[in-house]
Amino acid sequence: MVRVAGRDRSRTRAMSTLLHGNEPSGLFALHRWLLEQHTPEVNMVFLLGGVYPAKIPPMLSLRQLPDGLDLNRCFKEPFDGEEGAIAQAMLAELRKAKPECLLDVHNTSGTGPAFAVTITNDAAHQALTSLYTDRLIMTDLRLGALMEYSEQEVPTVTIECGGSQDEQAHQLAYEGLVRYTSRPDVLSLEKAEWDVAVLRNPIRVELDPEATIEYRLEPSGHADLTFPPDIEHRNFGVVSPDEPLGWIGDKGLGILTAISHNRAEDVEQVLQVKDGQIYPAQDIKAFMITTNPVIAKSDCLFYAVKATGEPIF
């Protein structure tokens, strides 16, 4: 944890980053900001979560410890394992600091434009989003993520800066941090620099843990699901039902689950199969698409909403 005193000592803002050890943009931004010796407008508390996996060689390459838990799924009881203890300690520090708002800065699991995620859509959350991006995902799905701290009546937003290897993502993380720390008011939408487009309750498409996935220009015949290597270029683009996403094996859509914010499941409203290829079942906007097979299996394949930005179901 890093504390920096602000001009106004009566107020505090918080930022967490590196919850995943392979998502360095927030860390790079904080390091640069500290070296430049900025004096923030209010007191700042910075929390670094996934230090242990980040330090394992090659540094900043592991999302979580081998056989460890995803830290950003541990911010709820029963706080299991080492990750649960870290999450519980971070929450204790936040309760002690009593920040007026909290940002959780990440990188996306694939290349793509920046966006924000929150469980609350109001002026304060849109204003925080606008420090970094003009895209906001609002979800009612609860996974034990730190952004659910918003339920403590503290405006909380997750910022996904873009790919972990993208210099543009590192720069965005820094510029957003400067805005976050230098402005007297970051919770007023009237002060926002751009309009925020809100996408509501995306569907989370998950791959069965026992299924296999490959990223190839054409299927090898050995995988249950094959995506092309450039599938990340679909992020935040509209994909129509006549545009193939990839290839499905003999097990068909049974290897996939599409989960809504209310835990309803209906993959056939999201995807369909024609002649061995997988297509959207309707016009969709997909994001968080990754070409990392480990993340595709341990987290999710992607999220999706209707092309209009509304929930699919």
pLDDT digits (tens, 9 = 90+) for 198-257: 999 999 999 999 999 999 999 999 999 999 999 999 999 999 999 999 999 999 999 999
Predicted pLDDT at 194:
61
Q: Encode pLDDT of 95-131 as tens digits.
A: 999 999 999 999 998 888 999 999 999 999 999 999 9
- The answer, yes or no, to whether residue 165 has pLDDT greater than 80, is yes
pLDDT at position 189 over 90: no
Tokens of 162: 């873009």
> What's the whole-number mean pLDDT along residues 253-276?
94
β-bridge mates for residue 104, sequence order: 16, 158
pLDDT digits (tens, 9 = 90+) for 292-302: 999 999 999 99
Residue 192 has pLDDT above 70, yes or no: no
> What's the CA gap between 266 and 210, in Å, rounded?
20
Q: Shortest CA distance to 291 belongs to which of 69, 109, 106?
A: 109
DSSP state of 31: H
In the chain, pLDDT over 70 holds for what percent of residues? 99
